[in-house]
Amino acid sequence: MSEYEPLTPASLPKRLGGLSAVADAVGGAPEAWSVEEVGDGNLNLVFIVGGSAGSVIVKQALPYVRLVGDSWPLGLQRAFFEYNALIRQETVDPGVVPAVLHFDEAQALIVMEHLVPHIILRNQMMAGDRVAGLGEGMGRFCARTAFRCSDLHMATDKKKADVALFSGNAELCDITETLVFTDPYFDAELNRHTTPQLDSLVAELRANEALKIEAQHLKRAFTARAETLCHGDLHSGSIMVTGDSVRIIDPEFAFYGPMGFDIGMLVGNFLMAFHATPAHVADRAARAAYQDWLLDVTRTTWTSFAAEFRTLWERERTGILYPRTLYEDQGHEAASKRACDQVLAEIFTDLLGFAGVEMHRRILGLAHIAEFDSIEDSDIRAPLEAKSLRLGRDLVLQRRNITDIDRLLGLARSSETGDNI
């Protein structure tokens, strides 16, 4: 079968049973496979397929946005971009993303490793459970993809070819461009927010002209700064964890963008989890300790990123930017380190901006997060959301003046005091 057709639990064993890469991993007769559709995301069909040897994930794109329905058509090519991102991420940070067992472009489907017993990081955080090595792993992944997919490391013709390839992922970029950077800042049709409690704060944010300008400056960076291969959607729902394992999934939004984009979106998610914790962890001491842990993860995510980036700068700076011929080979090691510091400072500034808009769009836009949405009492939810909205605003507006991670954590701590909307 080459014409696209969505899989069903009933059709899947027959359609995929003949693929040895899949059959070997699952094991047993295809007609005996268990197939469960578990897609809880916004865009795709996701099946867990189990057999005598083990289980695999089958992910198939749907020709529309699942969250909204078939009134919002969406091209199937995103599976092609997800596949291309997965194989590159595997190369630059081996073992972090699921192993790809099979890719079928026409069917827009990827068969991949089933991560067991991993759960979504967002659920782990709502349960108040920790993940050893979370910040280290995420910072390292972000640094490795940022560095190794850029002109700091790649041969520039290959980097330009990848820029060209991922430029085709325009439809998914359009979703981010619209839903993250624009819709939250005016009364757009798809928006929703906790009402009436947040109405006046939302009105205040949408009347803040400096904020609206900065959000569009950040959008311009998103659309034009083809620095590196970004995951494109690196929030707490794209990370699978156990108590001591961190894996990253779902790079279908992959694009060439700013080095600070992925880590910025991620930090925005950590900060929202920080604000939401009081609704999920009842015990006062446990709550404070968990919030401390979330800030520690935020800190470690950045320090791990910076440390890994510096190491790669020293060891793998084989691209056309800041070449050793110009620095180390001339005895100018200090200049090389200073250049690295300046690039990291710029990434940190961008991180803050992208974190801020992510915090806004998850509370004001179409796609919300479970940490807040699962709080049924809107009088409890709204004040917590308000903290994220205000901190997000400060990060966007003050990002050029927040020059280190301690200052960011200080702002997060200050934002946590007080219960006013």
Q: First-to-last CA distance in the chain?
A: 56
CA 215 – CA 383 distance, rounded (Å): 23
Binding status of residue 313 toward its own copies by CB under 8 A:
no
Q: Which is nearer to its own copies, 171 or 296 (CB)?
A: 171
Helix (H) or strand (E) holding 45, with range, is strand 44-50
CB of 72 to its own copies, least distance (A): 16
Q: Is 203 in the site for its own copies (CB under 8 A)?
A: no
Q: Is 318 in the site for its own copies (CB under 8 A)?
A: no
CB nearer its own copies, residue 59 or residue 317: 317
Sign of the Cα torsion 263, 299, 280, 98 reads positive
Q: Which stretch binds its own copies (CB under 8 A): 2-10, 54-62, 212-220, 266-274?
A: 212-220
Q: What minimum distance in Å lies between the beta carbon of 345 and its own copies? A: 11
Identified binder of its own copies from the candidate list 5, 40, 174, 379, rule CB under 8 A: 174
344: contact with its own copies by CB under 8 A? no
What are the residues facing 35 on neighbouring strands?
49
- Print burial letters for 170-209: b (CB count within 10 Å at least 16), e (below 16): ebbbebbebbbbbbbbeeeeebebbeebbeebbeebeebe
Phi-psi map region of 132: left, alpha, beta (phi>0 left; psi -120 to 50 alpha): beta
Is there binding between residue 156 and its own copies (CB under 8 A)?
yes
Interface stretch with its own copies, choices 111-119, 126-134, 156-164, 280-288 (CB under 8 A): 156-164
Interface pick for its own copies out of 11, 91, 330, 403 (rule CB under 8 A): 330
Strands 239-241 and 246-248: antiparallel
Rounded Cα gap, residues 345 and 7, in angstroms: 47
Q: Which of residues 119 and 320 has its CB atom nearest to its own copies in the complex? A: 320
* Residue 30 DSSP symbol: G
Half-sphere exposure of 88 (CA within 13 A, CB side): 30
Q: Is 378 in the site for its own copies (CB under 8 A)?
A: no
Residue 192 binds its own copies (CB under 8 A): no
* Residue choice 8, 11, 91, 167 for contact with its own copies (CB under 8 A): 167
Q: Counting contacts by CB under 8 A, is residue 335 touching its own copies?
A: yes
In whole angstroms, how close is the CB of 224 to its own copies at the nearest point? Answer: 4
Q: Shortest approach of its own copies to residue 177 CB, angstroms?
A: 5
Binds its own copies (CB under 8 A): choice among 185, 293, 305, 372: 185
3-state secondary structure of 44: strand
DSSP secondary-structure letter at 263? H
On whether the CB atoms of residues 371 and 125 are closer than 8 A, the answer is: yes
Stretch that binds its own copies, among 34-42, 103-111, 119-127, 171-179 (CB under 8 A): 171-179
190 binds its own copies (CB under 8 A): no
- By CB under 8 A, tell whether 310 contacts its own copies: no
- CA torsion, ordered 245, 294, 139, 212, to nearest 10 deg: 130
DSSP 323-338: -GGGTGGGT-HHHHHH
Q: Which positions lie near its own copies, rule CB under 8 A?
A: 150-151, 156-157, 159-161, 163-165, 167-168, 170-171, 173-174, 177-178, 182, 185-186, 188, 206, 209-210, 212-213, 216-217, 219-220, 223-227, 320-323, 325-327, 329-330, 332, 334-335, 338-339, 342-343
